[in-house]
């Protein structure tokens, strides 16, 4: 077989002439197809995101004025608790699981996950868990925040707290079952030609995430079981009057919940590593550095939990260890950030909504990362602990990091998931509103925190009123920013322009099949003959230099950046220069 013949076979998009497609109602059933499950996760997650967003707007409305005039302080506590719990457990983590479900088998050339039925079971636990959580509004919602620290969680609104525990336990089970699937799929189901170092970086990120879920989540389950005994059976594990110790709960809780931060953000590190090379038309800078730094983050993430407890009577020598270990995490994270920047450097950047969200992700996440290093330092943390500085920090990580990452991923893979393009101008409107609204909401909170405004309280000192009003206005802008996206997504799903197989001229395997992919993904299993990020490695551009008539011919000199791999469909390509009629 000559080189030319080889490329002609290897690069042929591997889809069947009559791809089997899913019917719309199949998305509402117990379906074992990883693509259906992925979309189910994402849509369910987004639904809960809207609910969590409404709760957030209610909180900001309450905080627009210093007095508790919109809701009662107790209800405010409930809204605050459910906002946090829903955003973390019902939106960001399921969204990560959704992309992982949709993308991992496609990226590694598998036909499905290792355990498809288990996968469906894992998903179908999530909606009941979410609905169960919302039912706590009918009794009296839990008031102790998403952390549920005793003794408050053991004294205030016990019924709501118990529902909260059940819901989080259910959710944790789903999360663990999902992680088993991701781990074994990535380890065992790759096409034969794909070694670990040819894996797309999203898979590396999910490998690291799954490890964290498997090690961390069970410990949270243990803590919640003990907490449930305290609430229901009257034991005193976390109650000092009965000989217990509330600090033990904090340790067990943060042993999961600090890694949970990485569970929430690592998948979107992976997304950034996918999106940025595609839209910068350059190879990723430092593939191995990014891949292995994910593993380093997950390992370090497991040994830093007590930095949440600097004010909980943690002894000084222990605080020292956790402070240094925490700051060390900035190193692998910094490696990633610099690698993304170096990938963009000198690239032919397409400033479309995907890339804008990815760049927004980096810029806001860096702010969150820097404030993270600040609060890791003990003296600074003692000053800002439980103030709005922490609120600002965590939202820069979880919104600026995870949610911007989720949006980048949605804009990037929507064409693959639905077969249709999202509207680009409205995507940019969505980005601008989100970016401005986000920073308007959370940037002033740093100031509030430094001035000493405590978090999780419905009323505050009138001196903070002006800055809080700015935050509230920003939060409304943020709420409004969802509308163009929603309309765009629904409209494009139904009537958007057809996307073609590979609208972004990307090289990873998910773009080598139809959009949306056929039921078993690939007609014949694809063969990898260039790396996932080999953009523009030859001396020709994939977009302008090679006319399509020539590109159809296997060219001996095409090299690793063969245009055949990234073959835009000329009738529907997004890029106008690709939209030339085929002769």
Partner 1 sequence: MQGSTIDPSKTVVNYHHAAAATDSHHEEHHDFRILGLIVFLIAEGMIFMGLFIAYLTFRAVTPNWPPEGTPRLELLLPGINTTILIASSFVIHKADAAVKQNNISGLRTWFIATALMGAVFLGGQLYEYWHLEFGLKTNIFASTFYVLTGFHGLHVTFGLLLILAVLWRSLKPNHYNSEKHFGVEAAEIYWHFVDVVWIILFFLLYIL
Contacts with partner 1, residue ranges (CB under 8 A): 1, 3, 6-7, 9-10, 109, 111, 114-115, 118, 176, 179-181, 183-184, 187-188, 191-193, 197-198, 214-219, 221-223, 225-226, 229, 233-237, 242-245, 247-248, 251-252, 255, 283, 287-288, 520, 524-527, 529-534, 537, 560
- Looking at beta carbons only, is 240 or 547 nearer to partner 1? 240
- Looking at beta carbons only, is 224 or 335 nearer to partner 1? 224
> CB of residue 180 vs partner 1: minimum separation in angstroms?
5
Helix spans in 377-511 (H): 378-384, 388-397, 404-418, 424-451, 465-495
- Looking at beta carbons only, is 34 or 446 nearer to partner 1? 34
> CB of residue 548 vs partner 1: minimum separation in angstroms?
23
> CB of residue 403 vs partner 1: minimum separation in angstroms?
27
How far is 391 from 460, CA to CA, in rounded Å? 15
> CB of residue 513 vs partner 1: minimum separation in angstroms?
14
For residue 170, which of 139, 132, 143 has the smallest C-alpha distance? 132
How far is 118 from 414, CA to CA, in rounded Å? 25
Place of tokens 């992925």: 38
- Looking at beta carbons only, is 327 or 525 nearer to partner 1? 525
| Contact indicator for 460, 403 with CB cutoff of 8 Å | no
> CB of residue 1 vs partner 1: minimum separation in angstroms?
6
| Contact indicator for 279, 358 with CB cutoff of 8 Å | yes
- Looking at beta carbons only, is 244 or 405 nearer to partner 1? 244
Cα 179 to chain centroid distance, Å, stands at: 15
**What is the phi/psi pair of residue 368, to 5°?**
-60, -40
How far is 87 from 76, CA to CA, in rounded Å? 16
| Contact indicator for 502, 567 with CB cutoff of 8 Å | yes
Structure tokens at 313: 């009577």
Q: Is the peptide bond before 115 cis (omega within 30 degrees of 0)?
A: no
- Looking at beta carbons only, is 10 or 572 nearer to partner 1? 10
| Contact indicator for 305, 437 with CB cutoff of 8 Å | no
- Looking at beta carbons only, is 235 or 377 nearer to partner 1? 235
Place of tokens 């996968």: 119
- Looking at beta carbons only, is 244 or 500 nearer to partner 1? 244
> CB of residue 531 vs partner 1: minimum separation in angstroms?
2
For residue 111, which of 565, 531, 527, 517 has the smallest C-alpha distance? 517
> CB of residue 164 vs partner 1: minimum separation in angstroms?
19
> CB of residue 230 vs partner 1: minimum separation in angstroms?
9
- Looking at beta carbons only, is 77 or 181 nearer to partner 1? 181
Triad 565, 567, 570: Cα angle to 5° = 175
> CB of residue 435 vs partner 1: minimum separation in angstroms?
32
**What is the phi/psi pair of residue 580, to 5°?**
-95, 145
């Amino acid at each position: 077989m000559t080189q030319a013949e080889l490329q002609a076979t290897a690069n042929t998009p591997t889809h069947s002439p009559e791809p089997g497609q899913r019917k719309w109602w199949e998305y509402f059933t117990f379906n074992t197809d990883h693509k259906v499950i992925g979309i189910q996760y994402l849509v369910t997650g987004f639904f809960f995101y809207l609910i969590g967003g409404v709760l957030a707007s209610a909180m900001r409305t309450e905080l627009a004025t210093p007095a508790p005039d919109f809701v009662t302080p107790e209800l405010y506590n409930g809204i605050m608790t459910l906002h946090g719990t829903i955003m973390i457990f019902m939106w960001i983590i399921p969204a990560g699981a959704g992309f992982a479900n949709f993308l991992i088998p496609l990226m590694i050339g598998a036909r499905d996950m290792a355990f498809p039925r288990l996968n469906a079971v894992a998903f179908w636990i999530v909606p009941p868990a979410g609905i169960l959580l919302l039912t706590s509004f009918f009794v009296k919602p839990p008031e102790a925040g998403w952390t549920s620290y005793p003794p408050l969680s053991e004294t205030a609104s016990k019924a709501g707290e118990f529902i909260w525990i059940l819901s989080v336990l259910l959710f944790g089970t789903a999360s663990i079952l999902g992680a088993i699937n991701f781990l074994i799929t990535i380890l065992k189901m790759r096409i034969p030609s794909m070694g670990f170092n040819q894996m797309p970086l999203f898979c590396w990120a999910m490998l690291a995430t799954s490890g964290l879920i498997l090690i961390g989540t069970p410990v949270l389950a243990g803590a919640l079981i003990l907490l449930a005994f305290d609430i229901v059976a009257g034991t005193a594990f976390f109650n000092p009057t009965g000989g217990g110790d509330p600090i033990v709960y904090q340790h067990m809780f943060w042993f999961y919940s600090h890694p949970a931060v990485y569970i929430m953000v690592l998948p979107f590190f992976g997304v950034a590593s996918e999106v940025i090379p595609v839209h910068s038309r350059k190879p990723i800078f430092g593939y191995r550095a990014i891949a292995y730094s994910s593993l380093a983050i997950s390992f370090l993430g497991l040994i830093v939990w007590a930095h949440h407890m600097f004010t909980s009577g943690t002894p000084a020598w222990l605080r020292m260890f956790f402070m240094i270990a925490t700051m060390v995490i900035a190193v692998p994270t910094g490696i990633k950030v610099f690698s993304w920047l170096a990938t963009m450097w000198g690239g032919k950047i397409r400033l479309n909504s995907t890339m804008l969200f990815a760049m927004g992700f980096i810029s806001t996440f860096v702010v969150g990362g820097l404030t993270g290093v600040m609060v890791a330092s003990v003296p600074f943390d003692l000053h800002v602990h439980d103030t709005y500085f922490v609120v600002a920090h965590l939202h820069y990580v979880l919104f600026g990091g995870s949610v911007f990452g989720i949006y980048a991923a949605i804009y990037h893979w929507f064409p693959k998931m639905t077969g249709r393009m999202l509207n680009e101008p409205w995507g940019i409107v969505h980005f601008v509103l989100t970016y401005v609204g986000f920073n308007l909401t959370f940037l002033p909170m740093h100031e509030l925190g430094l001035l000493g405004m405590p978090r999780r309280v419905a009323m505050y000192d009138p001196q903070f009123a002006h800055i809080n009003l700015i935050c509230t206005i920003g939060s409304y802008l943020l709420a409004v920013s969802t509308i163009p996206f929603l309309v765009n997504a629904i409209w494009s799903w139904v009537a958007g322009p057809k996307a073609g197989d590979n609208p972004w001229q990307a090289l990873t395997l998910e773009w080598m099949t139809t959009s949306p992919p056929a039921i078993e993904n690939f007609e014949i299993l694809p063969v990898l003959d260039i790396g996932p990020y080999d953009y523009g490695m030859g001396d020709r551009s994939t977009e302008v230099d090679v006319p399509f008539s020539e590109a159809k011919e296997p060219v001996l000199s095409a090299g690793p950046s063969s245009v055949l791999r990234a073959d835009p469909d000329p009738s529907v390509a997004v890029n106008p220069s690709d939209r030339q009629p085929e002769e």
